Structure 1
Amino acid sequence: MVTQYKCPNCGSDMAFDADSGKLSCPNCGRQDDIETFPEENIVPEFDAEEAKEYHCENCGAVILTEANTTATHCSFCGAPVVLAERLSGEFAPAKVIPFTISKEEAVEAFKKWTRNGRLTPRGFMNGDRIKKMTGMYVPFWLYDINGTAEVAAIGTRVRSYTRGDTIYTETDFYDVYRGIDLSYLKVPADASEKMDDELMDKLEPYDYSALKDFKMPYLAGFLSEKYDYDDEALFSRVESKIVPYIDSYIQSTITGYTTVSYTNKQIQTHKSKVYYTLFPVWMVYYDFENKEHTFAMNGQTGKVVGKPPISSGKVAAWFAGIAVSGFIVLKGLSYAMGGVLW
């Protein structure tokens, strides 16, 4: 089923506007709240089979999609469409963080970001090389996790003192035990096979106070996909993400010792609740030296992540500058102390 949102005024296709948080008509400028949008202006078209092609309600063109696509545009007339049956049942998201950064704002933010590249090649800092910028909702699982930690360790306290001409060192040993209840709320993991996990991790954090109950109109005008991995498949990855935080917390509870040696550490975690959520991401495709570089931007905060090319000449000049500055400082110290530095 293809779903399109028709403007009650002029019949044009409406899309979600990141600035206002409403459905917006590009033709007459009308804006509607998602919660109160009239159902008679939601136009569905059913296909006879579960297939990878649909028909655009506007121009009749066939829309070809991959199996996991849930929102896209008609390639011929540009109409935003939502593939509703791919967002129902077990594939229905529970929450969504809507875009708050428009495409125009995203373009300007990326251009500003490129100008900060001190070690990038000179031509790279021209933000006009943007080839394409695509707004898409990436599927994530958010995990509420409960668990326990049981830790046994041996702590030492060492003190030294002097009597006469003799220095004494005294070491006391202590048995240390900690039983800790743990809870972590809304730990994220992206569930798309296509998205680079490291790239998505670096886009965090998102502001969860902006989480909204999922409604399909949020997707109008953007690309979206359903998840490739269910919450069971990703739970081990989420556990590995929180282990450093658990270790850090355990260490914070064992203080006042000179050394701490763990003899036993058992950590058990289980998910108490899971939310299928869509996060907003601007994908930026950038041409430089006949290559396409891919960057991602948090569609809520504007944070940009990616690996820009590095200029070997600028790196060499940077290290040379440090070496020269260091030499000048040492030379000045030498003269100040009345010495000679060769």
Structure 2
Amino acid sequence: MSQPTQTQYPCSGCGANLEFAPGTTVLKCPYCGAETPVGPAERAIREHSWAQFAGLPRKPISALAPHVFTCQGCGAVTQSDKISDRCQFCGAALVADISPAEQVVPEAVLPFLVDRAALRDALRAWASSRWFAPNSLKRVTEAESSHSSYLPHWTYDANTVSEYAGERGEHYWVTETYTEDGQTKTRQVQRTRWYPAHGMVSRSFDDVLVTGTSRVMPKHLETLEPWPLPDAEPYRPAFLAGHETLRYDVEPENGLESAKSVMAGVIRDDCERDIGGDEQRVHSVDTAYHDVTFKLMLLPVWIACYLHAGRTYNVLVNGRTAEVAGERPYSRAKIAAAVVAALLLIAAIIVLVQLNRN
């Protein structure tokens, strides 16, 4: 089991635990309102060499024991696999001290900018823009159904050199004779002449983003992009206080393979541009990766849950841009009403046309 170490930030005024206030650079007491500035970064954000990391012995993340938190407020001992959480008994903010010997330590964090008021505005606008949604969708704006969470993401950098083989297609036109209604006619028809093509392209990739958790649907997280990654801060535990932080469960090796898949699509486009012509066929691409680096980042997401017809729906909100993505139910009654209204409108138009003809 992990060492029972964690960081808490007691308020100098009332003794309660401080929490990071979204949109600020301070830790704020949820009771008396006292504020303490987040400490300055001790170093800049670093990229880590993949070659060096790959040679290090380590356990898979799934084999690690949960963190053990001992609340300094009520003395309760709780276990969690999250990096930051709340005491299950008194709700105090808890942040685990992460050991680099056990897992990859976050290198950067994009602090929350969207607070609860802005969250409710974003959810209200999203809910009102959903066509054919049931009236119960408005429940998603309730503050009690949402919580703030930092989600782990991997970023990868690489210099690539790719050799490709394919074909270049060039269009030309021929005159074709055909018969229509007993008459002989001609028309111009496009044809394509193919030529072998091969060559080499190179590209540098920076901060290819890959989700580091399987607990949140990737398609919803992708909808929240783009993220303002240049605004990220060097990792400091204080930014996590009062917010849930998931520990990554996607190993960095798997993340790299996903990043290479993203890179492959860009490289293929480069190959097609290099081939030129009117059309292109790419038969094979052999890519060499150089100077591969990576880092673990924490990105802010509000997660809202609501019930409808016995099913739980999840909605995600980008904690920096307020972009909303997620699941939504449909109202059969509203859809049926819309269909009936459309049929009545069509029928009315037909009647008007007939009357005008008569």
- TM-score (normalizing by structure 2): 0.77
Asked whether 1:57 is paired with 2:72, we answer yes
Q: Which residue of 1 aligns with 2:18?
A: 14
Q: Offset at 1:97? A: 0.7
Q: Which residue of 2 aligns with 1:156?
A: 170
Mapped to 2, the partners of 1:182 and 1:321 lie a distance apart of 55
Q: Which residue of 2 aligns with 1:47?
A: none
> Residues 177 and 26 of structure 1: is their aligned pair in 2 closer, same or farther, counting only changes over 3 Å?
same
Q: Of the candidates 231, 241, 257, which is equivalent to residue 252 of structure 2? A: 231
Q: Of the candidates 30, 33, 45, which is equivalent to residue 34 of structure 2? A: 30
Mapped to 2, the partners of 1:114 and 1:86 lie a distance apart of 42
Q: Offset at 1:183? A: 2.3
Q: Of the candidates 277, 297, 305, which is equivalent to residue 285 of structure 1? A: 305
Q: Of the candidates 216, 222, 229, which is equivalent to residue 201 of structure 1? A: 222
> Residues 173 and 296 of structure 1: is their aligned pair in 2 closer, same or farther, counting only changes over 3 Å?
closer
Q: Which runs of 5+ in 1 are unaligned?
A: 38-49
Q: Deviations over 1:14-57 (max 9, x none)?
A: 111112132122344333332259xxxxxxxxxxxx76533211
Q: Which residue of 2 aligns with 1:97?
A: 110
Q: Which residue of 2 aligns with 1:40?
A: none
Using the aligned pairs only, state the percent identity.
22
Asked whether 1:214 is paired with 2:235, we answer yes
- TM-score (normalizing by structure 1): 0.80
Q: Deviations over 1:228-267 (max 9, x none)?
A: 222112222222334333334433445442x4344x3214
> Residues 212 and 52 of structure 1: is their aligned pair in 2 closer, same or farther, counting only changes over 3 Å?
closer
- Corresponding letter in the other structure for 1:58: G
- What does 1:178-189 correspond to in 2, within 5 Å? 178-189=199-210
Asked whether 1:71 is paired with 2:84, we answer yes
Q: Offset at 1:10? A: 4.2
Q: Offset at 1:139? A: 1.1
Q: Which residue of 1 aligns with 2:8?
A: 4
- Corresponding letter in the other structure for 1:192: T
Q: Offset at 1:198? A: 2.4
Q: Which residue of 1 aligns with 2:130?
A: 117
Mapped to 2, the partners of 1:172 and 1:293 lie a distance apart of 53
Q: Which residue of 1 aligns with 2:61?
A: none
Q: Offset at 1:125? A: 3.5
Q: Offset at 1:107? A: 2.5
- Corresponding letter in the other structure for 1:155: G
Asked whether 1:84 is paired with 2:97, we answer yes
Aligned residue-pair number:
320
| 321-330 or 298-307: bigger deviation | 321-330
Mapped to 1, the partners of 2:99 and 2:246 lie a distance apart of 9
